[in-house]
Chains A and B, each alone.
Chain A
Amino acid sequence: MRGVWTDRLLGGVTIVVFLFILAPVASIIVFSFNADRYPSLPWGGFSLDWYRAILTDETVRRGFGRSLQVAAIVSVLATFIGFATAYVDYRFRFTGKLAFLALAALPPTVPVLILGLAMLSFFSLIDLVGTLTGVIAGHVVLCSPFAMALIRMRLAEMSPDLEGAAWNLGATRWSCMRSVVLPFCKPAIFSALAITAAVSFDEFMIAWFVSGLNETLPVRILAMLQGQVSPRINAIGTIVFVITIALVFLAQFLTTRKADKEAP
């Protein structure tokens, strides 16, 4: 039996861990509304100046737009590839399947610095450096494994009889895919869209190597940091954090809602 004190202790530790992780993020959010130029206490009063400043900064706005555009395209492509990979794993048995899966899951395990460098040298061969297409290609490589993992987990819950039942009731392979496999995977597909969008939106290293003049938002942030330390960084950071965390929560929500609904 677990005592009340054990529970409290566990709760306390959890809170401390969260505080430790979230404190820097919280300080960014807090100081983004600070009227003072320097992030120091006491607080200099509430202000939206820094937000106003970044919204009027053309380079930030363009970076933001590019990041959104890249994230949107990447999430769709990566989720599609992730779904296809996960389905191949689910449906077929073939020699070399383990190698296939290892290869499909590999990109996030490679340090992004290496990944970014490799892409830079490869893309320069095929004239993709400095283009958003290059950034998108790089992000798709990085994000697809996340989509695959999510959708594969969902497919693992799918009774192998389900497809058989659809065929048995007259559904061809394609209509079975459309009317059984996709609807079954729907929650995972939506969370994969959200997660891959979040990863892409946040990603700095590949974008930094590949984007050239087409800076995405994280690359723009670094450029600003190199120039001067301005509280505008806090404002951008807050916006990026809110968007990313919203996407992650959305993914989490979609996954748990499905679990609730299907609890016996």
Chain B
Amino acid sequence: MAAPNPILLLNQVTKSFGDTVALHPTDLAIEKGEFIALMGPSGCGKTTTLRLIAGMDYASAGQLLMWGADDITATPPWERDMPMVWQSYALFPFLSVRENVEFGLRQKRRLLSPERRKRALEWLDRLGIADLAERSIHQLSGGQRQRVAIARALALHPEILLLDEPLSALDANLRLHMQSELKRLHSELGITFLYVTHNQSEAFAMADRVVILSDGRVQQIGAPKEVHRAPANRFVARFVGANTILDGRMTGAGTIETPVGTFGIARGTPPPAHAAASLLVPADRVTLSTEATGASNEVAAEVLTEEFTGSFVTVMLRLADGTEMKVQKQQSEIDGLDLRPGARLFAGWPGEVGYVLPGEAC
């Protein structure tokens, strides 16, 4: 993956609207063939970044380089070769499905009519909607429109495909289906996908690397597993959501002292002794029991809520100091436990999962 030059390089790219900074100086190197997801809560700068890359807005400062040399910072959108799949689909309502797919081929590739038609039909076929070619857009369902939008972009045979929350308007089943379809298209075509989403599971399921943004700043760039297991900071830890954060202070002995106990740490870069620090406990590694086992990584807790999501159960616990702890278990693992709200039990975790984050001054 370490090509000499990334297909697209953001070099200190910045965007401000008047006094508001939408994107602080950002560096990002996107390699050819990568599936990159930009994610974060709304207003975090992910869509701004995508619009800058597509040329819908221009960067206030910094550079966009293709292949390390071709500066496209000020190139108008129609001269960039990065078709986009829009959240609203942005299909042309006065054109048929096939004409929509042909639009880019007519504008950009200047192909002759029979050639255009052939290629459009190929892509509609590839997305499983060849039979809808002559329909009008109004007659299509959301899922079908989605496929037309993808076909329209891919028919240009681009090297980079931009996707702006493409699945957010679909229902859950369809979304999962389209996820695997996008993943399949990505591996078949070998082109770069740049995917914007606020949906963590979408990003983690598909992307090779995720870029987590908040308040117009990149918080962390890394493989989904890395971000999940070793969040760079408190924001990422919270955003990923599958952790309990126990705030405390480093002791002299390399352990962390929190209001609910003193625990060993196994991973992360510990701050110096006596500095503020936080311990992250992954929700899926917590074990629950009715009797104290006497292990060192164990706390007493009270059940707040229990929530089923398919075969998983999410249990929210309240610890002695009021901190909420999140626990995710397979249904079978907790069958015998009393999880009614108010029930008392003990939550423990293996020593090797404790991950330390520098504490934040607060």
Taking the nearest CB of chain A, how far is it from the CB of B194, in angstroms? 13
Of residues 74 to 95 in B, which have CB atoms within 8 Å of A's CB atoms? 76-78, 82-84, 86-88, 90-95
Alpha-carbon distance between A169 and B95 when the two chains are bound, in angstroms = 15
Query: Given A161-B86, A175-B107, A261-B138, is A167 in contact with B93 using a C-beta cutoff of 8 Å?
Result: no
Alpha-carbon distance between A263 and B90 when the two chains are bound, in angstroms = 17
Q: Is the CB of B108 within 8 A of A159?
A: no
Instruction: Tell me which of A159, A170, A183, A262 contacts B90 (CB under 8 A).
Output: A159
Q: Is the CB of A167 within 8 A of B108?
A: no
The closest CB in chain B to the CB of A162 belongs to B90
Q: Is the CB of B94 within 8 A of A169?
A: no
Interface of A is mostly: helix
B84 — which chain A residues lie within 8 A by C-beta? Answer: 165, 168
Residue B156 at the chain A interface, CB threshold 8 Å? yes
The closest CB in chain B to the CB of A263 belongs to B138
Of residues 169 to 198 in B, which have CB atoms within 8 Å of A's CB atoms? none
Q: Is the CB of A166 within 8 A of B56?
A: no
Instruction: Tell me which of B93, B104, B108 contacts A262 (CB under 8 A).
Output: B93
Taking the nearest CB of chain B, how far is it from the CB of A174, in angstroms? 10
Taking the nearest CB of chain A, how far is it from the CB of B80, in angstroms? 8
A168 — which chain B residues lie within 8 A by C-beta? Answer: 54-56, 77-78, 82-84
Chain A interface size, as a band, is 20 to 34
Alpha-carbon distance between A14 and B55 when the two chains are bound, in angstroms = 54
Interface flags for B131-142 (1: CB within 8 Å of A; 0: not) read 000001010000
Taking the nearest CB of chain A, how far is it from the CB of B75, in angstroms? 11
Residue A47 at the chain B interface, CB threshold 8 Å? no
Q: Is the CB of A170 within 8 A of B94?
A: no
Alpha-carbon distance between A124 and B138 when the two chains are bound, in angstroms = 54
Query: Given A170-B104, A172-B78, A179-B107, is A164 in contact with B56 using a C-beta cutoff of 8 Å?
Result: yes
Q: Is the CB of B107 within 8 A of A159?
A: no
Residue B15 at the chain A interface, CB threshold 8 Å? no
Residue B103 at the chain A interface, CB threshold 8 Å? yes
Q: Is the CB of A169 within 8 A of B138?
A: no
Residue B46 at the chain A interface, CB threshold 8 Å? no
Query: Given A169-B103, A169-B152, A171-B78, is A164 in contact with B90 using a C-beta cutoff of 8 Å?
Result: yes
Residue A186 at the chain B interface, CB threshold 8 Å? yes
Residue A184 at the chain B interface, CB threshold 8 Å? yes
B77 — which chain A residues lie within 8 A by C-beta? Answer: 164, 167-168
Alpha-carbon distance between A164 and B57 when the two chains are bound, in angstroms = 10
Residue A3 at the chain B interface, CB threshold 8 Å? no
Taking the nearest CB of chain A, how far is it from the CB of B98, in angstroms? 15
Query: Given A183-B94, A186-B94, is A165 in contact with B86 using a C-beta cutoff of 8 Å?
Result: yes
B136 — which chain A residues lie within 8 A by C-beta? Answer: 261
B54 — which chain A residues lie within 8 A by C-beta? Answer: 164, 168
Point out which of A166, A167, A169, A170 has the most chain B C-beta atoms below 10 A from its C-beta.
A169
Q: Interface size on B (CB < 8 Å)? A: 28
Instruction: Tell me which of A166, A262, A264 contacts B107 (CB under 8 A).
Output: A166
The closest CB in chain A to the CB of B79 belongs to A170
Alpha-carbon distance between A143 and B286 when the two chains are bound, in angstroms = 74
Taking the nearest CB of chain A, how far is it from the CB of B115, in angstroms? 16
B78 — which chain A residues lie within 8 A by C-beta? Answer: 167-172
Q: Is the CB of A167 within 8 A of B76?
A: yes
Taking the nearest CB of chain A, how far is it from the CB of B55, in angstroms? 7
B156 — which chain A residues lie within 8 A by C-beta? Answer: 169-170
B107 — which chain A residues lie within 8 A by C-beta? Answer: 166, 169-171, 175, 179
Residue A205 at the chain B interface, CB threshold 8 Å? no
Of residues 142 to 193 in A, which have CB atoms within 8 Å of B's CB atoms? 159, 161-162, 164-172, 175, 179-180, 183-184, 186
Taking the nearest CB of chain B, how far is it from the CB of A157, in angstroms? 9
Taking the nearest CB of chain B, how far is it from the CB of A217, in angstroms? 37
A161 — which chain B residues lie within 8 A by C-beta? Answer: 86-88, 90
B93 — which chain A residues lie within 8 A by C-beta? Answer: 184, 262
Alpha-carbon distance between A169 and B85 when the two chains are bound, in angstroms = 11
The closest CB in chain A to the CB of B51 belongs to A164
Q: Is the CB of B94 within 8 A of A184?
A: yes
Alpha-carbon distance between A263 and B139 when the two chains are bound, in angstroms = 9
Interface flags for B287-323 (1: CB within 8 Å of A; 0: not) read 0000000000000000000000000000000000000
Alpha-carbon distance between A162 and B77 when the two chains are bound, in angstroms = 13
B103 — which chain A residues lie within 8 A by C-beta? Answer: 166, 169, 171, 179
22 contacts between A and B (CB under 8 A): A161-B87, A161-B88, A162-B92, A165-B91, A165-B92, A166-B92, A167-B77, A168-B77, A168-B84, A169-B108, A169-B153, A170-B104, A170-B109, A172-B76, A180-B92, A183-B92, A183-B94, A184-B92, A184-B94, A262-B93, A262-B138, A264-B138
B residues lining the A interface (CB < 8 Å): 54-56, 76-78, 82-84, 86-88, 90-95, 103-104, 107-109, 136, 138, 152-153, 156
A-B contacts besides A183-B94, A184-B94, 14 pairs, CB < 8 Å = A161-B86, A161-B87, A164-B54, A165-B90, A165-B92, A166-B103, A167-B78, A169-B104, A169-B107, A169-B108, A169-B152, A172-B78, A179-B103, A184-B93
Closest 7 CB pairs of A and B: A170-B108, A169-B104, A165-B90, A161-B90, A170-B107, A167-B77, A171-B107
